[in-house]
Amino acid sequence: MSEKAWVVDASPLILYARIGRLDLLEYLAPCIIVPAKVLEEVRQGLWKDEAAKVAIAWAETRVISDAEIPVSVEHWDVGPGESQVITHCLGRKRWAVLDDRMARRCAEAHHLLTVGSIGIILRAKERGGIPKAKPWLNKLKEAGMYISEDIIERCLIAVGEEY
């Protein structure tokens, strides 16, 4: 997976800023792209989320101009940031970094590779970027991501950790 660029949406960007581990994205991806619309969405949250400042500072050097959204993506009626992430992956060897379920379904319908915030932790564990996944899954949960205990348990089993 690490040989392809990642196009990152607002949710993973903010969550990883909140837990202080934006470096994991850099560790796993050779190139990180943030569509302008995603950065705009993060900026809109500045007034209510201190982590948005960190996310913006980190993302500003990785911004790419927005692209025209094809009808096949528009049809899914996902958010503007998610639509840009998907559009920037179409026809290219890139991973769509998305947490939104409908956006992931849209990306998968377009035969795109996807990874979400949980998947980033699991890949970082598998590649030696973190010694244990459990504390970071818990931090994502504390940072506002919905993760059920069942999902955490299944993830830990997948990477050989005890629940």
Please give the full DSSP string across 39-52, using - where no structure is assigned: HHHHHHTTTT-THH
What is the C-alpha to C-alpha distance for residues 116 and 12, in angstroms, rounded to an integer?
7
pLDDT at 118 over 50: yes
158 inside domain: no
Residue range 123-140, pLDDT digits in tens: 999 999 999 999 999 999
22 inside domain: yes
Q: What pLDDT shows up at residue 162?
A: 86
Q: What pLDDT shows up at residue 1?
A: 46
- The number of domains in the chain is 1
CATH code at position 99 = 3.40.50.1010
Q: What pLDDT shows up at residue 32?
A: 98
60 inside domain: yes
38 inside domain: yes
Boundaries of domain holding 29: 5-117
131 inside domain: no
With tokens 């069942």, the residue in question is 150
**CA distances from residue 128 to 45, 94, 114, 124 in whole angstroms, order as listed:** 33, 22, 21, 6
19 inside domain: yes
146 inside domain: no
Q: Quick one: what percent of the chain has pLDDT higher than 70?
A: 98
DSSP H or E stretch at residue 5:
strand 5-8
End-to-end Cα spacing for the chain: 26
What is the C-alpha to C-alpha distance for residues 85 and 107, in angstroms, rounded to an integer?
9
Strand order of the β-sheet with 113-115 is 63-64, 32-35, 5-8, 94-97, 113-115
pLDDT at 12 over 60: yes
62 inside domain: yes
DSSP H or E stretch at residue 133:
none
- What is the value of pTM for the model shown? 0.94
Residue range 21-80, pLDDT digits in tens: 999 999 999 999 999 999 999 999 888 899 999 999 999 999 999 999 999 999 998 999
Q: What pLDDT shows up at residue 158?
A: 94
